[in-house]
Each structure stands twice: as C-alpha cells, then as structure tokens.
Structure 1
Amino acid sequence: MVDIEFKKIKLVLTDIDGVWTNAKFYYTKDGFFQKAFSTYDGMAVSLLRKFDIETVIVSSENCMAVKARANKLKIKHLYIGEENKLQRANSLCKKFDLELENMAFIGDDLNDLELLKKVGFSCMPPNSPILNIFTPHYITNKAGGEGAFREFADVILSHI
C-alpha cells in the first residue's frame, strides 16, 4: 500500500449502495423496495468512533432505509440525495477545519470518482464497476454488502 498517513484521518466518508449493500434493490409487487445491510459494517462505525473518527454517509440515493440505518447506528452526519460528493466533502472540510487529506472515502461508482481521487485514503470494493478506470489506495477483499466497509475501517484502525 502506498505511504498513507493514517493518523491524519479524522473523518471517514462512505457511499451506501454498492458498499454497505450489494447494489441490489428488492421490489415488492406494490412497488416498495428493501435493502440489506451487513451487521459487520455497523460494528465498524462503533470501532471508528472509539478512535474519535466520525463516519459520514454521502449517498446520491435518497432512501428511508439509509436514514433508518444511520439512525440506528447514531451516525450524526448523513447526506442523502447528494449529487456532488466532492463538493460535500469540501464543505465538510470547512465545517470541521480539515483538508481532504484528513478524510478517507469508500465508494464504488462514477458518482464517487472525483472524491476518490482527492481524499487521503481511497477505497473501493472488488465488485466496483469503475476499477478499470481508477485504482484506489486499497481494494477490499469483501464485496459490497458483505462487510466491505468493515474491512475498510479495519485497515484504517490497524494503521493508527
């Protein structure tokens, strides 16, 4: 792994679909849908918090299931329906008096690409459709929805 200054990481940003989920929606005949979340990823939020690293959800999808999961995990910073994730990260830099190098981000698709290129530690799950155009600092062994966020958090925590 490239020389990453993990001790400088103060915020962990994460996409949801394709990272915390397998990127699939399960629709009922009535048009409702469900998502499945791994409990491993939920535990990662608690582990990061023990090291004073906040988790920030930045998702382009505006979904009640994501709100419910964030609420359950007591994630204070939730940005859904977010079209420009890099712009959101820049506003978080101002809010927390940080630089992009103080952030880690795990994402998996084109709408994550610009932010992945700018943060101090970038990560993608192995099932990401954009691995052919961008190589992050780290590619998880676990697929999205199977504990990819937990692995990402474990890598950060094992280096601080």
Structure 2
Amino acid sequence: MTISSLTSKSLSPELQARFKNIKLLVLDVDGVMTNGGLTIGDDGQEYKTFHSHDGLGMKLLKATGVNLAIITGRTSNVVKKRAESTGVAHFYQGAEDKLVAFNDLIKISGLQESQCAFMGDDVVDLPPMLKCGLAIAVPDSPALVLNHSHYVTTKAGGHGAVREVCELIMQAQGTFDAQMAQFLTQASIAN
C-alpha cells in the first residue's frame, strides 16, 4: 500500500476510532521528526535535518484544532526553532523521563490520555506510548516498541512519517479535504 492510497478508511474500525479521538499529537524528535542521526560539529553545535512535508503536515493538523507537543530527551536550539516554526503548543526538551513530561502535559492540557497520540521510535518512548490513546511507531523501531504500537507508519522517521500521521488524523476526523481544498482552489485560480 503506498502512502497516496493509505487513508483512515484502510484502517480497522478500532484504529480509525483511535485516530478520530485525537486532540493532541505528541512527538519525539530523534528518529521520528528526524532520521535519528545526530550531527555534532567540533564546536559542539548540534545539527538536525527535518522533512518539509512533516512541517506542513503539522501546520495543517494544527489548523484543524488538533494541538501538537514535543517531548524529547535531548536539548537543542534547532529543535526549539522547529517547534516554533510548526506551531507546537507544548515543548519539553531534556526530558529524561518522558512519562513525567507526558503526565504534566495531560495535566496542563486538560485532555484525557485517550485523546493523545504519542509517536516514538525507541524504548524510552514506551512509558507515554503505553499510557496514551494512540501509540505510533516508525518502522525501524526496536521490536518491543513495534509490538506495543497501535500503528506503525509506512514512512521512516525524518522521511514523512509525521506527515503520514497528520493526514491520517485529519482523514479520520473529516478535516483532510477542507485542508487540501485550499491548495486546489489556489491552483485553479492560477490556471
């Protein structure tokens, strides 16, 4: 199944219901928003590569009323800038215990755990993944993470996996067509 043919209707009814219920998408960074590689210069500066499709997907999802959060174990200015540019409402970095950060996020957001999706790629992500309503992993995650995920993306981390999830949430919630219509309208005006 290619990503273009992957829709929420392709999912089981139980999984569709999980996607439909999401009000907050929580993302890990390394291995999810990036390919997991860490580039560190001689000066100690950290560099990361993000996929532009993911960024637009995040902005489109936020426009539908679904909030975004990042919980990452590392601390990086580039991640802070990415969070700001994509409309991330809640940002936790240097989170050695991601469950503590997730519990704080639940408390301040006023949402139920079942209304949150957590997208991770390694065993440190399992505690919040096991607590949320929709646990999502990328394909190259360790077997333990894959076995405890409700959904595994077809795209790899840093290569459109976040966009895939954003689109599935929008499709399940009936907001995808409206978000895409703005681009089709612009195209028809230009022609």
Larger radius of gyration: 2
The Cα shift of 1:132 comes to: 6.3
Matched, 1:143 2:156: yes
Tell me the distance in 2 between the aligned counterparts of 1:103 and 1:18.
20
The aligned counterpart of 2:64 is 51
The aligned counterpart of 2:49 is 36
The Cα shift of 1:111 comes to: 0.9
Question: Structure 1 regions of 5+ residues with no counterpart?
Answer: none
Distance 1:133 1:13, change over 3 A: closer
Distance 1:132 1:47, change over 3 A: closer
Tell me the distance in 2 between the aligned counterparts of 1:72 and 1:53.
16
The Cα shift of 1:129 comes to: 2.4
The Cα shift of 1:7 comes to: 3.1
Tell me the distance in 2 between the aligned counterparts of 1:49 and 1:107.
19
User: 1:108-119 to 2 correspondence within 5 Å?
Assistant: 108-119=121-132
User: 1:44-83 to 2 correspondence within 5 Å?
Assistant: 44-83=57-96
Q: Does structure 2 conserve the Cα–Cα contact (< 8 Å) formed by 1:89 and 1:100? A: no
Q: Give aligned pairs, total.
A: 160
Q: Does structure 2 conserve the Cα–Cα contact (< 8 Å) formed by 1:110 and 1:130? A: no
Q: How high is the sequence identity, in percent, across the aligned residues?
A: 37
Q: Does structure 2 conserve the Cα–Cα contact (< 8 Å) formed by 1:125 and 1:139? A: yes
The aligned counterpart of 1:106 is 119
Mean Cα deviation higher: 85-94 or 125-134: 125-134
The aligned counterpart of 1:120 is 133
User: Aligned partner of 1:62: which letter?
Assistant: T
TM-score (norm 1): 0.91
TM-score (norm 2): 0.77
Tell me the distance in 2 between the aligned counterparts of 1:84 and 1:130.
21
User: Aligned partner of 2:78: which letter?
Assistant: A
